[in-house]
């Protein structure tokens, strides 16, 4: 007896992928705007030390969550066929991982807090055991909804969860201005989104024997190793900075990230959630990947670098307006984080593609090399006692990762390295040059909100006058060829 198989196993058009990513990012963009409002309220009620403990707690939970999810979302997303035996086995794994991770986080909360030299974070870490239990189910059901192609529905469900979490979070912070009250928002958002996605995919859910998904469990285990290494790369400098500079410094870092790097991570998430299932078609060869991966990185790289250049100029002037005067120390971190966010997002998309085709040796070698780099950055933080050095490490790490994985992919035929290098250099030169000129002007006339607005209007004016030259750029012609611009008909397909 054959099992029921899911349709739509062929590659889809670039326009449809863009539409799915647009819906996902559109919902997340609404969430980002709401996040700014949420940050404006909570940042005025809770101080840097409490936000530092909050950020540390999320970082601790992130490690346990990586182990708990076991890469379930990505595993489901790359399935060639959605078979009941496979999905039911993964549901059983999610239950076991959820129970184990909740116990590990809740019972060992003092040890986790001590690792970060912040024993006062112990109660908050224990509370996040709720999130650790839900995390495997969240990864599984959101991945399943994506694999089934319900991008719009998933976007709406995630937005509902996000907004509900923020609403509950504001109430909690108003009632109790503590680090634990800040955790209400992410916990509620994750719980509600999990419930909604489980309802959408309920026909496919059930418990089964783990033996029904042997190949998928092997991929999940490899992905978990890669994720833990990635966690180390992202958090070694944070751990060192916490010990050297204290929780308050991490609080400034956290608030700067909320208004700079987080929007880039939302773009990254929207794109990966939409296109990850399509990478399964590149598991057997490189011909399609060489064209599609290169085009994807060129388009996203240009778009994100432009946003970073504008944001690095405009966002610092908004820090005290949005968050309040007590966060002025975060202003200097924002420009670095804007460019780091753009590079990191593009690199993460490439890393997701490498991961999806099963090239884990490349993933692991990259992470190990970056861990060595993190060790050097940790020494620099201890010697300088500078938060700027710690934050700059994100940019350095992101650039090194992208270059190294780009070289690996080019050598094996997954990327057109020359075209990607030329495009990256052009995007970096144009955006950094434009930012440097405008930043110099602002230093001369004064970096006020009004002067920043005038400079941005001037940039828009110049862009409108030079629109014919802009339309002649290779990246613009490429986007038009895929039908990604208004009024353009796609001439190329993702296949």
**What's the pLDDT at 184?**
93
Q: Select the more confidently predicted residue: 453 or 204.
A: 204
| Least confident interval from 116-130, 442-456, 467-481 | 467-481
**Nearest-angstrom CA–CA distance, 495 and 487:** 22
Give the residue-averaged pLDDT of 231-249.
82
- 29 found inside a domain: yes
**What's the pLDDT at 473?**
60
**What's the pLDDT at 206?**
80
Statement: residue 146 has pLDDT above 60 = yes
**Nearest-angstrom CA–CA distance, 251 and 255:** 6
Statement: residue 490 has pLDDT above 60 = no
Domain with 120, as residue range(s), is 14-481
* Contact in structure between 349 and 272 (CB atoms under 8 Å): yes
- 6 found inside a domain: no
| Least confident interval from 286-300, 408-422, 462-476 | 462-476
Statement: residue 389 has pLDDT above 60 = yes
Statement: residue 53 has pLDDT above 80 = yes
Q: Select the more confidently predicted residue: 63 or 484.
A: 63
Q: What percent of the chain has pLDDT over 90?
A: 5
Statement: residue 487 has pLDDT above 80 = no
- 265 found inside a domain: yes
Give the residue-averaged pLDDT of 38-51.
84
**Nearest-angstrom CA–CA distance, 190 and 131:** 7
Taking the CA atoms of the chain, what radius of gyration do you get in angstroms?
22
Which pTM does this prediction carry? 0.70
* Contact in structure between 125 and 112 (CB atoms under 8 Å): yes
Mean of pLDDT over the chain: 78
Q: How confident is the model at residue 164 (pLDDT cuts 50, 70, 90)?
A: very high
- 64 found inside a domain: yes
CA atoms within 13 A on the CB side of 88: 11
**What's the pLDDT at 274?**
67
Nearest 5 degrees, angle CA 300-CA 40-CA 324?
A: 110
Give the residue-averaged pLDDT of 316-345.
85
Q: Which among 56, 195, 61, 53 has a CA at the least distance from the CA of 128?
A: 61
Q: Select the more confidently predicted residue: 129 or 437.
A: 129
Split into its structural domains, the chain has a count of 1
Nearest 5 degrees, angle CA 50-CA 270-CA 279?
A: 130
Q: How confident is the model at residue 26 (pLDDT cuts 50, 70, 90)?
A: low
**What's the pLDDT at 493?**
43
Statement: residue 483 has pLDDT above 70 = no
- 119 found inside a domain: yes
**Nearest-angstrom CA–CA distance, 351 and 354:** 5
Give the residue-averaged pLDDT of 238-248.
84
Token pair in block for residue 127: 């509370």
Q: Select the more confidently predicted residue: 268 or 361.
A: 361
- 494 found inside a domain: no
- 88 found inside a domain: yes
- 59 found inside a domain: yes
Give the residue-averaged pLDDT of 104-131.
88
pLDDT digits (tens, 9 = 90+) for 85-114: 778 888 888 888 888 888 888 888 898 888
* Contact in structure between 249 and 325 (CB atoms under 8 Å): no
Give the residue-averaged pLDDT of 343-364.
83
């Amino acid at each position: 007896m054959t099992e029921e198989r899911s349709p739509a196993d062929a590659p889809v058009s670039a326009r449809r992928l863009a539409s799915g990513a647009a819906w996902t990012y559109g919902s997340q963009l609404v969430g980002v705007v709401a996040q700014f409002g949420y940050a404006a309220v909570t940042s005025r009620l809770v101080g840097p030390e409490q936000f530092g403990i909050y950020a540390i707690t999320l970082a601790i939970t992130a490690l346990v969550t990586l182990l708990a999810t076991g890469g379930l979302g990505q595993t489901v997303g790359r399935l060639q066929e959605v078979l009941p035996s496979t999905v039911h086995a993964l549901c059983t794994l999610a239950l076991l991982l959820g129970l184990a991770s909740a116990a590990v986080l809740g019972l060992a909360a003092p040890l986790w807090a001590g690792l970060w030299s912040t024993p006062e974070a112990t109660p908050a870490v224990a509370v996040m055991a709720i999130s650790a239990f839900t995390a495997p189910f969240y990864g599984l059901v959101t991945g399943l909804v994506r694999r089934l192609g319900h991008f719009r529905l998933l976007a709406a469900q995630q937005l509902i969860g996000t907004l509900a979490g923020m609403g509950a979070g504001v109430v909690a912070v108003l009632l109790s201005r503590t680090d634990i009250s800040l955790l209400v928002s992410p916990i509620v958002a994750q719980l509600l989104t999990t419930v909604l996605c489980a309802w959408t995919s309920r026909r496919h859910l059930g418990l089964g024997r783990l033996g029904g998904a042997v190949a998928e469990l092997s991929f999940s285990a490899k992905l978990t190793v890669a994720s833990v290494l990635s966690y180390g790369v992202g958090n070694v400098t944070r751990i060192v900075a916490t010990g050297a500079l204290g929780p308050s410094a991490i609080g400034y870092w956290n608030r700067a990230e909320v208004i700079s790097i987080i929007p880039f991570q939302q773009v990254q998430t929207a794109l990966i959630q939409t296109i990850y299932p399509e990478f399964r078609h590149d598991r057997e060869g490189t011909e399609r990947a060489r064209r599609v991966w290169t085009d994807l990185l060129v388009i996203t790289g240009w778009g994100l670098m432009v946003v970073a250049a504008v944001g690095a100029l405009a966002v610092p002037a908004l820090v005290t307006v949005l968050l309040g005067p007590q966060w002025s120390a975060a202003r200097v971190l924002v420009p670095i984080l804007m460019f780091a966010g753009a590079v990191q997002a593009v690199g993460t998309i490439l890393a997701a593609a490498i991961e999806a085709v099963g090239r884990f040796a490349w993933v692991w070698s990259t992470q190990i090399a970056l861990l060595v780099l993190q060790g050097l950055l940790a020494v620099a933080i201890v010697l300088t006692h500078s938060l700027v050095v710690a934050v700059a490490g994100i940019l350095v790490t992101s650039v090194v990762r992208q270059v190294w994985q780009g070289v690996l992919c080019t050598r094996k035929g997954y990327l057109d390295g020359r075209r990607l290098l030329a495009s990256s250099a052009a995007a970096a030169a144009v955006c950094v040059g434009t930012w440097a000129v405008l930043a110099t002007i602002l230093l001369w006339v004064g970096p006020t909100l009004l002067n920043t607005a005038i400079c941005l209007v001037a940039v828009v004016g110049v862009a409108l006058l030079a629109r014919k030259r802009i339309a002649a750029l290779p990246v613009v012609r490429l986007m038009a060829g895929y039908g990604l611009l208004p009024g353009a008909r796609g001439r190329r397909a993702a296949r």
